[in-house]
Amino acid sequence: MRDHLTTDLYVYDGECALCSRFVRFLVAHDLEGRFALMTAQSEAGRAIYRAEGLDPDAMETALLRIDGRIYRNLDVFTETLVAIGWPWKAAGLLRALPRPVAGWLYRRVANNRKLLQRGQCPLPSDEIRARLIE
């Protein structure tokens, strides 16, 4: 089992269908298996949110840790895609957005994610379960 303190980690809202769909995308395209996964609702996930000064019940952002650095908001999406390589690495262009614009864009999606998702949150596949750290 992976140690969540030392591996690259994607922490997401396990109750959000949109977030879960992105995790399915990540697992399908992270061919090296670089990222471990953790739901924000798990004890360890909640602890990470608190350590980052975030309310674990508010679910205002997913979190990404790469090489010990924590990313939030649009940077989570951008850096995840950059890390899994081409052609997704082209999302690195989002880094050029001014911070206020990036923040606004992220908030529009995050605050409306319930409207953007279709149906129920899918159950984790076996591939996702294999990467989940509880």
Q: Cα torsion for 20, 21, 26, 29, to the nearest 10°?
A: 150
Lowest mean pLDDT among 3-7, 40-44, 96-100: 3-7
pLDDT at 1: 44
Q: Model confidence at 124, in pLDDT bands (50, 70, 90)?
A: low
User: For strand 8-12 and strand 63-66, is the pairing parallel, antiparallel, or unpaired?
Assistant: antiparallel
Mean pLDDT of the chain: 83
Task: Give the domain ranges of the chain.
Answer: 8-123
Lowest mean pLDDT among 58-67, 90-99, 110-119: 110-119
